[in-house]
């Protein structure tokens, strides 16, 4: 409990019920090893926080972009609240140093750690909602997540580079791109892929990522730059 005040200061919320914030930090793996711990793990809070986050972000986008169709709003939301973005926000708030998890889980890095950080942030949102209501949780989400909308637009994070590369390639060359794994390394829980984006047999660009999908997207994004499309 000694670290709770430090985290409260970082997230800008002083809890009435400190146990709600503490529970948001408890990973299932810790409970599996410490059956007598007085609180449950954070998955129910994560479930609640995910719903609050979706409502707040959807309301924000609906009001901010009155002339955009549903498809655009869906893409904006996906870019704004995906696990990568949430993990980044979680990192900025220093949530990781407060997480309560097993020694084995603490060793995991890469994609597994990204999901853990993202889930913890959603659990914190759920705990704020239960402790202080919708208005306070909305303020937390606005201050820490919705503020990234400008970057989403500037960097076009809402676009799927694979779809864009395919459209441009078919339009300009009549060829549908294909992808091949060039290298693959690491254990199952922390894989690293290098994938090539091809137009027929011509290698246009390479991309790296912790999943095949992420590496394909990186390769497609690089290919668009190489082709200047």
The catalytic position among 105, 108, 122, 131 is 122
Neighbouring C-beta atoms of residue 131, cutoff 10 Å: 18
CA 143/CA 89 separation, integer angstroms: 11
Question: Tens-of-pLDDT digits for all 229 residues of the chain?
Answer: 458 999 999 999 999 999 999 999 999 999 999 999 999 999 999 999 999 999 999 999 999 999 999 988 998 999 999 998 999 999 999 999 999 999 888 877 777 888 999 999 999 999 999 999 999 999 999 999 999 999 999 988 888 889 889 989 999 999 999 999 999 998 877 889 999 999 999 999 999 998 898 899 999 999 999 999 8
3-state secondary structure of 155: coil
Q: Which two tokens stand for residue 34?
A: 């410490």
Domain 161-227 in this protein, CATH class? alpha beta
Domain locations along the chain: 4-154, 161-227
Angle at 169 between CA 166 and CA 172, to 5 degrees: 145
- For residue 74, what are the CA distances in angstroms to 8, 59, 65? 32, 12, 12
Domains 4-154 and 161-227 are alike in CATH topology: no
Paired residues of 197 in beta bridges: 179, 205
Please tell me the predicted confidence (pLDDT) of residue 167: 87
User: Is 122 considered catalytic here?
Assistant: yes
Q: Find out if CATH 3.40.50.300 is the number for domain 4-154.
A: no
CA 220/CA 213 separation, integer angstroms: 11
Which candidate, 96, 130, 172, places its Cα nearest to that of 13? 130
Please tell me the predicted confidence (pLDDT) of residue 2: 54
How is 185-223 classified by DSSP, letter by letter?
ES-GGG-EEEEEEEETTEEEEEEEESSHHHHHHHHHHHH
- Residue 201: exposed, middle, or buried by beta-carbon count in 10 A (0-12, 13-18, 19+)? exposed
8 Å CB contact between 162 and 216: yes
The catalytic position among 50, 105, 108, 131 is 50
Element (H, E) at 183: strand 178-185
* pTM greater than 0.85 (yes/no): no
């Amino acid at each position: 409990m000694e670290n709770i005040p430090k985290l409260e200061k970082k997230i800008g919320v002083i809890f009435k019920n400190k146990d709600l914030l503490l529970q948001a930090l408890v990973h299932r793996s810790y409970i599996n090893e410490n059956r007598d711990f007085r609180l449950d793990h954070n998955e129910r809070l994560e479930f609640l926080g995910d719903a609050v986050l979706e409502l707040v972000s959807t309301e924000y986008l609906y009001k901010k972009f009155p002339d955009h169709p549903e498809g655009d709003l869906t893409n904006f939301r996906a870019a704004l609240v995906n696990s990568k973005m949430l993990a980044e926000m979680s990192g900025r708030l220093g949530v990781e140093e407060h997480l309560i998890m097993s020694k084995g889980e603490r060793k995991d890095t890469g994609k597994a750690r990204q999901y853990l950080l993202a889930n913890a942030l959603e659990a914190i949102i759920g705990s704020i909602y239960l402790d202080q209501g919708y208005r306070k949780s909305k303020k937390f989400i606005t201050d820490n997540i919705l503020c990234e909308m400008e970057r989403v637009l500037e960097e076009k994070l809402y676009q799927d580079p694979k779809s864009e590369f395919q459209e441009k390639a078919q339009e300009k060359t009549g060829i549908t791109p294909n992808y091949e794994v060039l290298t693959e390394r690491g254990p199952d829980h922390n894989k690293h892929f290098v994938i090539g984006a091809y137009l027929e047999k011509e290698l246009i660009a390479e991309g790296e990522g912790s999943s095949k999908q992420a590496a394909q997207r990186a390769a497609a994004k690089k290919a668009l730059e190489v082709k200047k499309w």
